[in-house]
Each structure stands twice: as structure tokens, then as C-alpha cells.
Copies of this chain bind each other. A is one copy, B any other.
Amino acid sequence: MTNRDAPHSYLIAPDLSRAGLTRAVTGTGPEGAELSLNVVEERPLTIYLNSREIVTAMTIGDYPEYLALGFLANQGMLSADDVVTGVEYDEDLEVVVVRTAVETDHEAKLARKTRTSGCAVGTVFGDMMEGLEGLTLPQTTVRTSDLFALAHRINTTPSLYLDAGAIHGSVLCQGDRPLVYMEDVGRHNAVDKIAGWMRAESVDPADKTLYTTGRLTSEMVIKTALMGIPVLASRSGFTAWGVEIAQQVGLTLIGRMRGKRFVCLSGAERLERDADLANLPDEPAKSGRKSARAGVSSAGSNAS
């Protein structure tokens, strides 16, 4: 279901009025003039699964419950069958505890860690890949007109990125409507917060699209597939492993979305190419968002 009457009616959008997400800092320019700018906060949040400490994440600090739920789900430490009996956040202790009816078997999983792209040390990568075995993503149709409308709406939505920069965003969308727009210092946190919201609200992923501001790395592709979302789109580019995994699991992967352009490297069969490109504006050269990269050429040609 798309909702063309209320395209901007996010269920959750960046809340710039929320206290504590950014901080004004003072510095100097090249000639010594004093400058003031907003920088995004980073706070530690320690996630417990029952009595076990799992990880300390650095986060901007909003939606700690969704972050914890989504992180554990995306890491395979909380399966669809696990019954969550409570999620308790203690702001002073900077701790969130997820409780399940039956203790889970995640301990053994903590032993295997693989460092992934864009990451300092490790992720429980083996488990994430295991979760992909036998996964079939729904054959939802995606209209290219909706994709372009989404990109435009998301990029013009007031956000911490536009206010302070140095932050990643992920947006859960349905048709041409962005539903939940999460931001965080790490793009993985933003996606995990969406996963946590989906789990808490029992949201069906089959007709959803995930839009991200960051690169389409293997981790982003795996998380999206584990969430059951069939389409992942981004302004940014691809990594080889991200493309490979998307092709393996049959996920529709669209990158370098800019103005009236994009490149689809996997799952093109879901696309209904209905966009009227002649009437779409190309993106102005000076956009608020990062520029897409060069290097695209017509097949068989090296010219750009």
C-alpha cells in the first residue's frame, strides 16, 4: 500500500528539537576567526541480553530500546521465536537490558568474530551469514517512480545530517512513503534501530524498501536481507562483496541514486520502470548530500 496523500507523514522522523543529540563546539578557521558548529553526540550504550553483557555501542542516544532489540536480532542473538519479556533502559547507567522468556544460545556465537568493512574490529559475521541460508525474499514489485520520489523526500527532510553532518541515516519506506527515518553515528546503529522498531511493532517487511545514506557494503546487504526487506537503495556506491551477497540472496540492490540516475546491480526483476525521467530534475551540482561517484560507463565503453 502506498500513501500518496500524505507522503511526508513519517511515523518517526529526525527530531531536531530533542535535547542532547548535538552539541555546539567552538573552533577557529584558517585565519583564526572563531567559529561555532554543531557536532553530533556519541554516548556509550551497553546492551545486555538477560544477564549477559553483549556489547557497548557508541550511539547518539535516541531510541536505545530499538537499538538494543534490533542489534540483537540482526546479530542472530534473538530469533523470531524468542519471546521478549521486557526491554529496560537505564539512562543514568547507560545500559539497556533485553529479557527473553527462555535464555538464548548466543554465548557460543560470541566466539566467532569477523572484522568487516568500515568497522574497527568485529562482527559476528559467521552467524549473520548462517541466517541467510535458505532465505527467500518476497518478489514485491518496486516502481522506479516511487524510488525517485523517496530519494527526493528523504533528502529534503530536516535531519541531523543537514544540521550537523558526520552522521548516517537509514529510512524504512513503503511505496513512495518514507515511514521511519533513523540517524546515528554508525550506519549500522541506524539500521538496527529500524530493525528494533519493526520487531517491536511487528511490521511486515515484504512490501518495504530500505534507503540508506551509506555505502552498500556486505553488512548492509546482510542486515537488510535478515530483516526480510527485499529492496535496498542508496545514494552511495557498492562494494564487491555487497553486490555478491545481494545477488546470492536475490535482494534488489540500487546504488548511486542521484537526480534521475541510479545503478541496479542485483534483483532488477522487481523493478517496474515507470518513472518519467524526462520530467524528473537532475540533481543540482551543489546538493546537501554527498555526491555520487564517477566511474559509471555504458557497457563496453570506458568513457564516463
Chain A interface (Cβ < 8 Å from any Cβ of B): 22-23, 25-42, 44, 55-58, 75, 113-125, 144, 148, 161-166, 168, 185-188, 215-219, 236-243, 256, 260-266, 268, 273, 275, 277, 285-301
Contact = CB atoms under 8 A, between A and B. Distances in A.
A231 B62 CA distance: 32
Contacts of A148: 30
B120 A239 contact: no
Given A25-B243, A293-B164, A188 B120 contact: yes
B217 A185 contact: yes
Given A165-B237, A240-B23, A297-B37, A273 B32 contact: yes
A269 to B, nearest CB: 10
Nearest to A123: B120
A115 B40 contact: no
9 contacts: A29-B263, A30-B261, A35-B298, A42-B117, A117-B186, A120-B219, A164-B295, A165-B293, A291-B291
Nearest to A46: B114
B117 A119 contact: no
A79 to B, nearest CB: 18
Contacts of A295: 37-38, 162-165
